[in-house]
Structure 1
């Protein structure tokens, strides 16, 4: 078991007919209990002899607890050769995750999922209404029909420019930056081109790898 973000090995074991327990044609072996933090993302890496008969039919991916979700499949150790998970995936190995403690609380958590979702939907709707009200009152918010994910950054920027032009806002230069960035406006002013027609002046980080895990993960974008 590898931490997908840090690539740290969390647990490691060797399974064989000598130390494993046979069940339905597979050998299983327990590993030491490990406490995983909330939203933990890990990679199960298995290597060894694979019997072709175990790969002849589709594997049933059991996720009835709603506490675990599958995201990617790896052919080998290369990230570039991994693909987004799909229900028809076939595997030559089996992995069983067992909750060792706090089971009653987790079951209650699963049972309350619909109630939490309804509360969250209500909160999102309320926030949307307040944003729309502020946009109408002050005109300081541009709402664009783009989902804020990695692959939509360029589309979001162009949609924002379109919203500015529709409002006939007058400006010499339009500067866009992230909300967690401190901008040195004087230095920026000194570096912008002197020509003021059809200028696209920007600074982007080149060859930035796509995030496969974490808040801004992209499952299929390359």
Structure 2
């Protein structure tokens, strides 16, 4: 009996514990089921955003592939200070924005030092020693009716800009024969665009029209040598408002087509027209859809045998450049492996592509971080991140305030020549834009740019491009001279541009020693 009692007690005890275990298992299963059913797996975007979500500020430093000395100077100064600072490195992230591809056009075949456009001659079937006509005009059979043109009403003198990609000798100036309908004297003048000095001038009239060749009246001029990269302007006038020539109609009332630029690559024709009411150098710029330009000239290549030698060397020059670019790419990979602070964007690394480099940085910021503020600077700039962050708390800028904080240029005229030449923006001045040395954008502005990036046109620089883009939504411009535009040093500057690696280190030493980047002695002088 006793054994039977013990056996029954054990069975009952095991049953109670089994019930408890089952209840616990059921409860645990219910909890797990609830969690599994209601779990929200993060999107890829959210996973990437979580990577650097602790950073409230993202700093993009525009840098060129070969500027490793500049980047190293920043790592040894303010960028390294951020990385090594216990608190700052959790708040601020710094990335050098570098194009992952070098230009594959040898320097001697570049249209200019700022782009990757080739001016290699299309010499197939060409006699390089022969005379050539600058602007090609092709006759067509379609008739065109004369009409009043609003562009014509505003001017009497018209000019066209061009650049010599190779040294040439100009031998003749010409005028379209449609001008034979015009009873007054007409002048063709060639100017130096930079100096606006008159170099060659020829007068045409019904009594003295010169020699006609392929619908162009030409007159010989004293031969003049124009070097490579010469910027010239050819001006024709006066042309009255109903002159058929300006409307693309020849003497036989047939339309003509103006081919621009010359397909030999010897000249680069600018995509705008100048105009004026007087015979002075025409300053006013317009972007008309004109049919052709009535002026012309004839030239010969200077020392064509040297040009032939240059063309023959093109293949070898391209091979050497390819090898150099490959070494540079490997060097960048090694640098990235060592420091991890490069953002290699999918762009050819030339000046004209800087706006696209910035766009890719903005995409990276929105995709990979929750940064509230995005700062742009260059690799030749000192930056005082402590002053920026301290002031940021006082200027009442929030991540959603549509604020642009910098030192702004207003009514800034477009350049038509040189590094900052702009041929696409159809206005004489830019909208307000911040100096490229350094400025801050709130996240909502960067988000707007990213959302619309597929339809945004890249202009000649990142600063003016951002200004044009954001003008359409009218951001809050916070103008502050401490975002310095030049190398004139002040104690309270946020950024100081145009510094060599040695200058960056010297400015940083000053700031570390006495919190004054300009100097650390009583008789302070400008840097």
**TM-score normalised by L of structure 2:** 0.34
Contact 2:261 2:268 in 1 (8 A): no
Q: Which deviates more, 190-199 or 132-141?
A: 190-199
In the other structure, the counterpart of 1:38 is 228
Structure with the greater relative contact order (CA < 8 A, sep ≥ 6): 1 or 2? 2
Task: Give the gaps of 5 or more residues in structure 2.
Answer: 1-189, 276-281, 427-527
The corresponding residue for 2:218 is 28
Contact in 2 for aligned 1:83/1:219 (Cα 8 Å): no
Q: Which moved more, 1:132-141 or 1:174-183?
A: 174-183
**What residue in structure 2 maps to residue 81 of structure 1?**
286
- Who is 1:110 aligned against? 311
Indicate the structure with greater strand content.
Answer: 2
SS in structure 2 of the partner of residue 44 of structure 1: strand
Shift, 1:141, TM fit? 1.6
Q: Cα RMSD (Å) of the superposition?
A: 4.0
Q: CA deviation at 1:143?
A: 2.1
Change (3 A) 1:158 1:107: closer
**1:110/1:126 CA distance change after superposition, 3 Å:** same
Counterpart of 1:16 in structure 2 is 204
Report the Cα distance in structure 2 between the residues aligned to 1:123 and 1:89, rounded to whole angstroms: 44
Residue in 2 aligned with 1:66? Answer: 265
* 1:1-222 matched pairs, under 5 angstroms: 1-4=190-193, 6-16=194-204, 21-24=210-213, 25-48=215-238, 51=245, 52-53=249-250, 56-59=255-258, 63=262, 65-74=264-273, 76=275, 77=282, 79-82=284-287, 89-99=291-301, 101-145=302-346, 153=355, 156-157=357-358, 159-163=360-364, 175-181=375-381, 192-194=392-394, 197-198=398-399, 200-222=404-426
Count of residues in Structure 1 that have an aligned counterpart in Structure 2:
215
Contact 1:19/1:29 (8 A) holds in 2: no
Q: Structure 1 residues 197, 93: CA separation in 2 closer, same or farther (over 3 Å shift)?
A: closer
In 2, Cα distance between the equivalents of 1:145 and 1:9?
43
Is the Cα–Cα contact under 8 Å of residues 150 and 216 in structure 1 kept in the other structure?
no
Compared CA separation, residues 151 and 123, structure 1 to 2 (3 A) = closer
In the superposition, relative to structure 1, how do residues 59 and 83 fare at CA in structure 2: closer, same or farther (>3 Å)?
Answer: closer
Larger gyration radius, structure 1 or structure 2: 2
Q: CA distance change for structure 1 residues 89 and 138 in 2, over 3 Å: closer, same or farther?
A: farther
String of CA shifts for 1:135-186, please: whole Å, max 9, x gaps.
2331122223456656863x6445335545766699x976432344555778
What SS class does the counterpart of residue 268 from structure 2 fall into? coil
- Report the CA distance shift for 1:157/1:73 in structure 2 as closer, same or farther (over 3 A): closer
- Any conservation in 2 of the 1:59–1:91 contact (CA below 8 Å)? yes
- The alpha-carbon distance between structure 1 residues 111 and 192, as it changes in their structure 2 partners (threshold 3 A), is same
